[in-house]
Amino acid sequence: MTALRELTSLAKEIESSGVVVLPAEPAAGADRSGAAARGNDKSGDPKSGKGPPLDVSASRQFTSWLGEQRLSLAFTTYQAGMLFLVGTQAGGKLSMFRRTLPRCMGMTVNGNSLFVSSLYQVWRFENILERGKTHNGFDRIYVPQASYVTGDVDIHDMAVGTKGRLIFINTLFGCLAALSETHSFLPLWMPPFVTKLAAEDRCHLNGLAMRNGRPAYATAISEGDVPDGWRDHRRNGGCVIDIVKKEVVLRGLSMPHSPRWYRNRLFLHNSGTGEFGWLDLEARKFRPICFLPGYLRGLDFVGDFAVVGLSKPRRNREFNGLALQERMAEKKATARCAIAVVDLRSGDAVHWLRMDGAVEELYDVSVLPGCQRPMAIGFQTDEIRRVLHLPPPQPARRAPEDAPNPDDRLNL
């Protein structure tokens, strides 16, 4: 009876249909009151490894803006290997929750699902809280529900199509791909200038823009068709490709990333120059909206605002010789790792969240609409084995007398 009462008490922690928290197994002599199951560390996984701590600062009205827009943010950190979920606590204080995912990059939100790519997998997280329910102040709990092993194919942008199928940019093989039940991936499309499906990262295909639920545009660092050929064309060899027409619609960009179709325009980053802007398809020109002090990757929208990811350029050959360095020197600016909120009407960066120390690079950023404070179940604590999400109870049904099985749910 004691164990039953304890389980009942723990289950009440998450008052949402079908959600159960199993009791923990504390070490001998430890407190068995269930405090471990409730969890006292609201920040998620600690920073792994050695190195500087993470220092986070925000503009004065950043949390107010999150509240006004009724949203939270998710972003991936390529170099630090962490998924961050950003929201607001009661009273307007910033909430940052992090989970460890090695080399997490591509990310997309589809209803209650959050897809994230990691070193050799694609993970699907599902929110298990009903609307209006909370747990320890969090109004979304993303639980890892499924994983596909793709191998280390360097997944970049991801999206979900109209039929609910996840598709992604497979950068190593230079193609648009889908998940497969039997293979590492299923190739769907290649740029017109790439002549062979090979694990050679010929053009560094990276960005994907969806239009009406279908793949529409892609970005690449170059039109290279030799192994690792893109590295020789970083300054001005970038391009935008029309996926449907199979043609290049814009050339002369510098390491473009994150194309997104929004309000009948194709927005993107000209990352090697530090410019966020849009593609004038009629004139076939890039129209800058603003310059931001960082290497731009990650883009999402809400209303009149764009949410932009900034990274500090790596200290290696890939980032040497870019116009970004010259622009920052002209403006006496230092590269930042940050999230910037840009007002599309003025081009001003009206809000920001800045990170220093442990995190230097971001890859993708997603808006979580209708969410105040999200969290996720990770793999480094025992929550992953104790938080269960059960289907709703099925009403009993009488089977026909001549049915071979009295319960047709077993006819699988």
Residue carrying the six token digits 């009205």: 61
**Which stretches within 222-373 are classed as H helix?**
323-330
Instruction: Classify the C-alpha dihedral 134-136-138-141 as positive or negative.
Output: negative
Other beta carbons less than 10 A from residue 29's beta carbon: 6
The amino acid at 42: K
Per-residue pLDDT, 58: 96
| 54-383 fold | Neuraminidase (2.120.10)
Predicted pLDDT at 266: 98
Look up the pTM and report it.
Answer: 0.88
Three-class SS state of 387: strand
Q: Contact 13/38 with Cβ under 8 angstroms?
A: yes
- Running along the chain, 412 residues long, what does each successive block of 10 average in pLDDT? 41 61 60 34 60 88 97 95 95 94 97 97 96 91 96 98 95 98 97 97 98 97 96 95 98 98 98 97 97 97 98 76 92 95 98 95 97 94 87 70 60 65
Three-state DSSP state, 271: helix
DSSP designation for 410? G
DSSP letter, residue 10:
H
- What tokens does 127 get? 């929110």
Q: How many CA atoms lie within 13 A of 170 on its CB side?
A: 28
Please report the pLDDT score of residue 216 as a whole number. Answer: 98
